[in-house]
Structure 1
Amino acid sequence: MEILVIGATGYAGRRVSAALARAGHTVLGLVRDPDAPVVQALQADEVDTVHGNFTRPETWRPHLDGTDAVVHLLMDMSDPVGADRRLFSEITAVQERDGQRRHLVYTTGISSYGRTGVALMDENTPGNAESPIGFRFELERELAASGIDHTVVRPGFLYGGPATTSMTGQWFAEAEAGKPVFYGDVTKRWSWVHVDDLADAYVRILGNPTAVAGETFVIADDQRLTALDMQRAAVRATGRTQDIGLESAEAGGMMQLAADQDELVDSRKAHRLLGWRPRHTSFTDAPDRHYRAWKASQPRT
C-alpha cells in the first residue's frame, strides 16, 4: 500500500511513518523543509520524503496521485477547521478524477471531548461543544458525511522517545530550567499512550482498512494517575527537587485550557477490533528512561 503521511516530521508522525514503512508499506512523508535534519532521519527509516506545505494544497495535491491511503497527523493552528476541510475536498476531488478510493486515517485527540462529566469516556461519549477544540468533533462528523473511506483515531496524551510536543518534554525542560509549572486543576487525570504504541494502532488500521472503515478508536493505556503526580515523576527523573509552581489553565495557553479537566478514556474497542494493546504500561514505570530519551534528542550546544 502507498500511504501519504501528512505531519510526517512531527512527534507522532515520525514514529507512525517509520512503523508503517517497517510494516512493508511505501510511505510518502510530507515535509515542508527538505533540508531539515528530520528529513534525513525519515529517509533512514525508509520513508520516501516528498515536498509540500499543508497550508498550500497545490504543493501536496500531486502526491495524492497513486496513493491508497492518507494519514493525517497535524493540526494547522493558523486555520485548523479550514485546512482539514480542504484536505477532505482534495481527497474527494482526486477520487473523482481517477476513480480510485483512498482511506483517510484522521487524527484528533481526547482533549476534543472537553468537560463531559463522564468518568471514563469512550468513542460514543458526546463531546462538549464548548471545548476550545471541540470543533474537531464537528470535523469528524463532516468527514463521516463526506463519503470518504476513513477511520478516526483519538489518541491520549503522548509520551516516550524525543517527546518533542509531549507534555512530558515540557515538564523535563521546565525542571532543568528550575521553573516547573503545573497549569489548572491539580486533581485532573489524563489518559496517556506511548508514541510507539500509538504508531502500532495505525499499522493495525492500515493492515486491513476496509474492516474498520467508518470506525473511531480511542487509543490510550490504562493508567489513572493525576497529571500533577505524572509531572512530579518527570521532575524527579531530571534529578531536580524544586517545588512545582501552580498557575491557571488560562496562563498556559489554549491547549492547557482545552485539557483542564479529567480526560480518562476506555480503549476496549481498539482491543477488540484491532487487537491493539499498549506494550508500555505507564510513563511512571520508567520516567528515568523517558528523560534520557528526551535528553538525547535535544540539540547540542
Structure 2
Amino acid sequence: MKVLVIGATGYAGHRIATALRRRGHDVTGLTRDLAGAGARALAAAEIRPVAGELADPAGYREHLWDADVVVHTAMDYADPAGSDRALIAELVAAPRHLVYTTGISLHGRVDTPELDEESPSSPDNPLHFRYQLERELIASGLPHTIVRPAFLYGHDSRTSQLGRWFAAPRFVGDKDKRWSFVHVDDLAEAYVRIVERADAPLGDIFVIGEENPPPALEVFTAAFRAAGHAGEVTVHPISPEEWLEQAADQDERVNSAKARRELGWTPRHAGPIAGMATYYAAWQAANA
C-alpha cells in the first residue's frame, strides 16, 4: 500500500512512518527540507522524503493523489485550522483515506470520568478548534479515521510532555490531575492496524492510550528523580502564555476499549514510571 505521512520528520510521525515501512508498505514522508537531518533519517529508514509545506497542499498534490492512504500527524502552529482545512479540501477533490490526528486534550474540562470516542469538547478549551476540525472532516464526506492519542513518551521524547519535563523540570497547574500516556511505539502500532484494516468502515474515531493512569504529579516526580534532581518537588501556577498547559489542566484519563475491540490493539509498555530511567537515558542520548 502507498502511504504518505505528513509530519514524518516529527516525533510521532517518524515512528509511525517507520512502523508502516517495516510492515512492507511503500511510505513517503513530507518534509520542508530535503537536505536536512530529518530527510536523511527518513531515507535511512527506507522512507522516501518529498518536499512540501503543510499549509500548501497544492505544492505536494502529486504525492497526495499518488497515495492510497494519507496519515496526518503534524500541526502548523502558524495556522493550524487553516492548514488542515486546506488539506481536507485538497483531498475532497480526489478522495483518499485520511488518518487524521488530534489528541485527548481537545476535550478540555468535561463532565466524564474517562475520555472515549463519544466524549464532548468544552468550547472554553484552547484546543476546542481541533474538535471543530474533526466535525468539519466528518461533514466533508472524505473517507477518514480520526485518532486521538494520549500523552506520548519513549525514544527521544522530543516535543512530548515527558521530554519537556526532562529539559525543564517544572510541574504546573492542578496537582491532582491524572493523564493517560502511551508509548510512541504502541501508538505507531495502532496506526498500522488502522491503515491495514480490510473492508473497515471509514469514519471511525479511536482514542489511543494506557488506562487507569497514576496522578500526573507522580509521573513528573519519577522524571524529576530520573534526571538526578534531589530537591523538593513544587507545583507552579500556569502562566498566561502557557496555552497548551491550560488546555490540559484537568483529568485526561482514557478508555481505549474500542481500539482493543475493533483494532485488536493493546499497549505493550507499562507506562512511563516503570521504565523512567530508560526513557531519561534515551532522551539524554538523543539530546547530547
Same fold (TM > 0.5):
yes
Note if 1:218 corresponds to 2:207: yes
Gaps of 5+ in 1: 96-100, 175-179
Residue 57 of structure 1 deviates from its aligned partner by: 2.4
Note if 1:125 corresponds to 2:119: yes
Contact 1:183 1:252 in 2 (8 A): no
CA distance in 2, matches of 1:143, 1:250: 33
Contact 1:183 1:251 in 2 (8 A): no
CA distance in 1, matches of 2:120, 2:199: 25
Aligned to 2:61: 61
Residue 249 of structure 1 deviates from its aligned partner by: 2.2
Matches within 5 A, 1:1-301: 1-93=1-93, 95=94, 101-174=95-168, 180-208=169-197, 210-251=199-240, 253-298=242-287, 300=288
Pair 1:137–1:248, CA change in 2 (3 A): same
Pair 1:237–1:212, CA change in 2 (3 A): farther
Residue 89 of structure 1 deviates from its aligned partner by: 0.4
1:215-274 deviations in Å (ceiling 9; x for gaps): 100000124211111010001111221223432223561110100001111000000000
Residue 102 of structure 1 deviates from its aligned partner by: 1.0
Q: Give secondary structure in 1 for the equivalent of 2:179.
A: coil
Q: Which deviates more from structure 2 when the two are superposed, residues 126-135 or residues 235-244? A: 235-244
1:180-216 deviations in Å (ceiling 9; x for gaps): 2111111111111000000000000001264141110
Pair 1:149–1:67, CA change in 2 (3 A): same
Q: How many pairs does the alignment contain?
A: 288
Contact 2:65 2:96 in 1 (8 A): no
| Overall identity of the aligned pairs, in % | 49
1:106-149 deviations in Å (ceiling 9; x for gaps): 00000000000211121111111211101111111111111111
TM-score, scaled relative to structure 1: 0.93
Q: Give secondary structure in 2 for the equivalent of 1:233.
A: helix
Q: Which deviates more from structure 2 when the two are superposed, residues 147-156 or residues 37-46? A: 37-46
Gaps of 5+ in 2: none
- The code of the aligned residue for 1:28 comes to T
- The code of the aligned residue for 1:35 comes to A
CA distance in 2, matches of 1:32, 1:259: 29
Q: Which deviates more from structure 2 when the two are superposed, residues 202-211 or residues 268-277? A: 202-211
CA distance in 1, matches of 2:239, 2:114: 25
Across the aligned residues of Structure 1 and Structure 2, the Cα RMSD in angstroms comes to 1.3
CA distance in 1, matches of 2:179, 2:198: 29
